[in-house]
Amino acid sequence: MSQTAAAHPQLDPTLALPFPQAALPVLRNPQLRRNVAHAIDVIQAKRSLLVAEKTDWQQLRQAASAIRAHALDNLAYYLEQFETRCTAAGGTVHWAADAAEARQIILDLLRQESATEVIKIKTMTSAEIQLNPSLEAAGIRVFETDLAELILQLGNDEPSHIVVPALHVNRSQVREIFARRMGLENLSDDPQALTAAARTYLRRKFLTVPAAIGGANFLIAETGSVAVIESEGNGRMCLTLPRTLITLAGIEKVLPRFQDLAVMLQVLARSATGERMNPYTSLWTGITPGDGPQRFHVVLLDNQRSSILSRPIERQTLKCIRCAACMNACPVYRQTGGHAYGSVYPGPIGAILTPQLMRMQHAKSLPYASSLCGACYEVCPVKINIPEVLIDLRAKVTDQERGRFNRFLDPMYLGMKIANFLFAKAWRFRAAQRLARIGLRLFTAGDGWIHSLPGLGAKWTQTRDLRGLPSETFRNWWAARTPVSVESNKEAK
Amino acid sequence: MSAPPTSRQRILDRVRQSTHSSADPDYNPETAYAALPRTFILRGQLTAEVRIQLMIERLREYGAEVVECLPEVLPASIAAQLAASAKQTFAAPLGLAAEWLAGGFNWKVDDGLRIEEIEAVEGVVTAAFCGVANSGTIALHHSVTEGRRVLTLLPDWHLCILRASQVVETLPEYFDRCHVPPNLVTWISGPSATADIEMTRIQGVHGPRFLHVILVRDVV
């Protein structure tokens, strides 16, 4: 437990450490790595079973991808349609250009309600705009109602996954947090008992707090409806009981029609939690007299999304339906967990989304936090080619660095410049090979491997061995053995 | 009060600049939408009987209790389920058939019940709009027989009456049955659950912990 309490994870990309440094504490924490690996193994096993039983999985992916791409291509059209229909049904639509404006709109709405407390459905978008701290600073007490979010809130921790935000915390850690914060000394660490404790703790709040804040899995342009997909029923509580409901949604969440959910719901739960369907999905349209909140506001958040839209390769980032299949499949995430990404959006999708939300000014190490193995692309239900975007973002980072005056002090830059010079002429390359063979012989051990190098080379040998150079280059070998056979091969064709 | 109109305009302008929809004067989003690929499975292949059995199997996998009955014995079947629950006070939507409100129990018919009154009942009986066999999903559209949303939320025990004729095999078939998109929807796939602690599935967090279904065999 001490790990989470001692080092509060930094998920503000403007303050977070670069990924390689941020990952170190996790890599040195075997308990944390076990927790993450266990959770991911369970989800992955369930997901692959349920995806395999779907004989039209690839067709569903194709349709889901096409619907999301179409919605983004026509985003202004569908946003205006959503606004018109939602307003006609009694909702109020607000537009927030950035995080600060969204926070201010929500704060003003809560002040109009004279709210001193607010209940919340899990929404990563609210974490993106750092809503909770700003509400607390304004004297409004926030109650997270999703079990995982409650664990994190009471434990003063941060989410490490977008679907199972507390997957890095195990049952005895949850027991410790609940016992301390709910005053339940004799609480057992049985998940059933822990869940029951959360139910009791929140029940009163559901019944009495007059305002709720939630996100949106989808906004339906055709009807002006909002969809929330969940498991526990805390969402339904927040959507039904308070007199005022505020929905915070990124502008990219729009689907053209109600029927599009026939595709999205078939791929989302399978990808996210390895279920055929999540226990509860709610859709509502503005205000319904006598049923649910009688004041309903939607805050549509841009916060850099419109500029992501303008770049053809990066645009696909916004197709994301937040299922987290990419992080569950990612060999890097499996080792580091979510906090290392320094963002509320971890894993492969976070590695492409976060730097773009930061206008490429922060989180610039994230596009490199990947082996480009492509597992994320393979599982993505809306076919986001994450490796393609990663490479493009790496190019953008490199372009930025190319313009920097102090680039000549960067060993990587100098190394690449030298390589460029050497590779440009065959004779330079051959000479360099010859010199390297002589130089490296000093460090090559009897077993043919280099175990340690000085200076920059140490960065490699600290974590892995390097094979010594062979006595003959491929080009020399080829020149000595094969000129005749190449010619005869050509003639044979 | 709403956000300054400038943000709305700024966002929409930027979005338009970033996308192609304004570039080509003949471009029509509705035509483009109609041309999107939809090659996934739309209709189920199962016979009616197998479809019903699949629905029951899926519901049971979620931990829901399922019994079957013929239409003529439905009131008796409801009464038996209520009796077996060992509960006394039940809520019912305003439009629920009178013969479903079995005698010997304390009924709270929802003619605008207060939250505290609904919180105080032990169970609720409702009809449903549709069942989707593939995923074991029950769709409520919150009509007068399905009840307000809060009615199937606060009571810990939910008895849902689903007719065989309402059960479809695939999710797209459910959408075919919605001739007009509904205003309010709750799709229920098993009782409230969480796996937030070590991925251990725990049933019953905030929603009803017990879901019972009577499957009425109105088609044979």
Q: Does B172 touch chain A (CB under 8 A)?
A: yes
Question: Which residue on chain A is closest to B58 by alpha carbon?
Answer: A276
Which residues in chain B are closer than 8 Å to A244, comparing Cβ atoms? none
pLDDT on residue B196: 87
Q: Does A90 touch chain B (CB under 8 A)?
A: no
Give the Cα-Cα-Cα angle A348, A353, A356 (nearest 5 degrees): 140
- Point out the residue among B39, B184, B196 whose CB comes nearest to the CB of A59: B39
For residue A96, the distance in angstroms to the closest alpha carbon of chain B comes to: 6
| CA-based R_g, chain A, Å | 27
Query: Do B183 and A202 lie within an 8 Å CB cutoff?
Result: no
Mutation to test the B interface, candidates A46, A50, A74, most B Cβ within 10 Å: A74
- Please, what CATH class does the domain formed by A2-307 belong to? alpha beta
Question: Which residue on chain B is closest to A147 by alpha carbon?
Answer: B196
Question: Which residue on chain B is closest to A174 by alpha carbon?
Answer: B197
pLDDT digits 0-9 by tens, A200-210: 999 999 999 99
Question: Which residue on chain A is closest to B204 by alpha carbon?
Answer: A232
Q: Does B136 touch chain A (CB under 8 A)?
A: yes
Query: Do A240 and B153 lie within an 8 Å CB cutoff?
Result: yes
pTM, full prediction: 0.91
Question: Which residue on chain A is closest to B10 by alpha carbon?
Answer: A97
Query: Do A171 and B184 lie within an 8 Å CB cutoff?
Result: no
Interface of B with A in 45-84 (CB under 8 A): 58, 62
pLDDT on residue A491: 52
On the question of pLDDT at B46 being above 50, the answer is yes
- Exposure on the CB side of residue A383, measured as CA atoms within 13 A: 13
What is the C-alpha separation between A414 and A420, in angstroms, rounded? 10
Residue A395 CA to its chain's centroid (Å): 21
Q: Cα separations (Å) of A121 from A246, A264, A379, B127?
A: 10, 21, 27, 28
What are the two backbone dihedrals, phi and then psi, of residue A445, each rounded to the nearest 5 degrees?
Answer: -80, 175
pLDDT on residue A186: 93
**Residue whose token pair is 């994301």:** A320
**Residue whose token pair is 């007009």:** B180
Write out residues in chain A with pLDDT < 50, as ranges.
1-6, 493
- Point out the residue among B29, B192, B199 whose CB comes nearest to the CB of A233: B192
For residue B72, the distance in angstroms to the closest alpha carbon of chain A comes to: 31
Q: DSSP for A38-80, please give it.
A: HHHHHHHHHHHHHHHT-TTHHHHHHHHHHHHHHHHHTHHHHHH
> B216, B70 in Cβ contact below 8 A?
yes
A299: enclosing H helix or E strand:
strand A295-301
For residue B218, the distance in angstroms to the closest alpha carbon of chain A comes to: 26
Q: At what angle do helices A147-154 and A171-182 cross, to 10 degrees?
A: 70
Q: At what angle do helices A411-423 and A426-441 cross, to 10 degrees?
A: 120
> B57, B51 in Cβ contact below 8 A?
no
Mutation to test the B interface, candidates A43, A47, A237, A276, most B Cβ within 10 Å: A276
3-state SS track over chain B: CCCCHHHHHHHHHHHHHHCHHHCCCCCCHHHHHHCCCCCCCCCCCCCHHHHHHHHHHHHHHCCCEEEEECHHHHHHHHHHHHHHHCCCEEEEECCCCHHHCCCCCEEEEECCCCHHHHHHCCEEEEECCEEECCCCEEEECCCCCCCCHHHHCCCCEEEEEEEHHHEECCHHHHHHHCCCCCCCEEEECCCCEECCCCCCCEECCCCCCEEEEEEECCCC
Query: Do A56 and B20 lie within an 8 Å CB cutoff?
Result: no
> A228, A121 in Cβ contact below 8 A?
yes
Query: Do B153 and A237 lie within an 8 Å CB cutoff?
Result: yes
Q: Does B144 touch chain A (CB under 8 A)?
A: no
Which residues in chain B are closer than 8 Å to A306, comparing Cβ atoms? 11, 14-15, 18
Query: Do A277 and B187 lie within an 8 Å CB cutoff?
Result: yes
pLDDT on residue A484: 62
What is the C-alpha separation between A276 and A90, in angstroms, rounded? 34
CA dihedral A13, A16, A21, A22 (to 10 degrees): -90
| CA-based R_g, chain B, Å | 22
pLDDT digits 0-9 by tens, B108-165: 999 999 999 999 999 999 999 999 999 999 999 999 999 999 999 999 999 999 999 9
pLDDT on residue A1: 38
Q: What is the ipTM of this complex?
A: 0.95
- Please, what CATH class does the domain formed by B48-216 belong to? alpha beta
Which residues in chain A are closer than 8 Å to B131, comparing Cβ atoms? none
Query: Do A207 and B8 lie within an 8 Å CB cutoff?
Result: no
Q: Does B189 touch chain A (CB under 8 A)?
A: yes
For residue A492, the distance in angstroms to the closest alpha carbon of chain B comes to: 48
Residue A279 CA to its chain's centroid (Å): 23
B191 or B208, higher pLDDT: B208
Task: Please report, for chain B, the start and end positions of each structural domain, with discontinuous segments joined by +.
Answer: 48-216
End-to-end Cα, chain B, rounded Å: 57
Query: Do B7 and A75 lie within an 8 Å CB cutoff?
Result: no
Which residues in chain A are closer than 8 Å to B136, comparing Cβ atoms? 276-277
- Can you read off the two tokens belonging to residue A94? 């607000």
Q: Does A128 touch chain B (CB under 8 A)?
A: no
pLDDT on residue A489: 54
CA dihedral A379, A382, A383, A385 (to 10 degrees): -100
Query: Do B196 and A265 lie within an 8 Å CB cutoff?
Result: no
**Residue whose token pair is 């066999």:** B133
For residue B88, the distance in angstroms to the closest alpha carbon of chain A comes to: 22
Q: Does B94 touch chain A (CB under 8 A)?
A: no
Task: Please report, for chain A, the start and end positions of each structural domain, with discontinuous segments joined by +.
Answer: 2-307, 411-492
pLDDT on residue B23: 61
